[in-house]
C-alpha cells in the first residue's frame, strides 16, 4: 500500500438527535455574528447556551395562573 490511501474508520455510535428550531431573523443574525467572532459553529453555540440554560433554570409561579 502506498502512503496516499483514503482511510475511513467506523463511526462511533452517537447519542445525538436532530432538532429543528424556529427563531427570529435578528436572533439568527446575532448567532451568526457570535459564531464568526468565536470561530465556533452555530451548533456549538446553541448547545452551549442550552446547556447553560438547563443548568441554571429557575421556575417561578405565574400570579395569573395561581389559584
pTM here is: 0.68
Q: How far apart are CA 67 and CA 58, in angstroms?
A: 21
| pLDDT tens sequence across 2-59 | 678 888 887 787 888 999 999 999 999 999 999 999 999 999 999 999 999 999 999 9
Domain regions of the chain by residue span? 25-56
Q: What angle do CA 2, 12, 9 make, to 5 degrees?
A: 5
Cell numbers that stand for 27 in this block: 436572533
Amino acid at each position: 500500500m502506498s502512503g496516499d490511501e483514503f482511510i475511513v474508520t467506523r463511526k462511533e455510535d452517537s447519542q445525538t438527535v436532530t432538532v429543528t428550531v424556529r427563531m427570529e431573523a435578528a436572533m439568527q443574525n446575532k448567532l451568526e455574528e457570535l459564531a464568526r467572532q468565536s470561530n465556533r459553529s452555530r451548533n456549538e453555540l446553541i448547545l452551549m447556551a442550552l446547556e447553560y440554560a438547563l443548568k441554571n433554570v429557575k421556575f417561578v409561579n405565574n400570579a395569573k395562573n395561581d389559584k
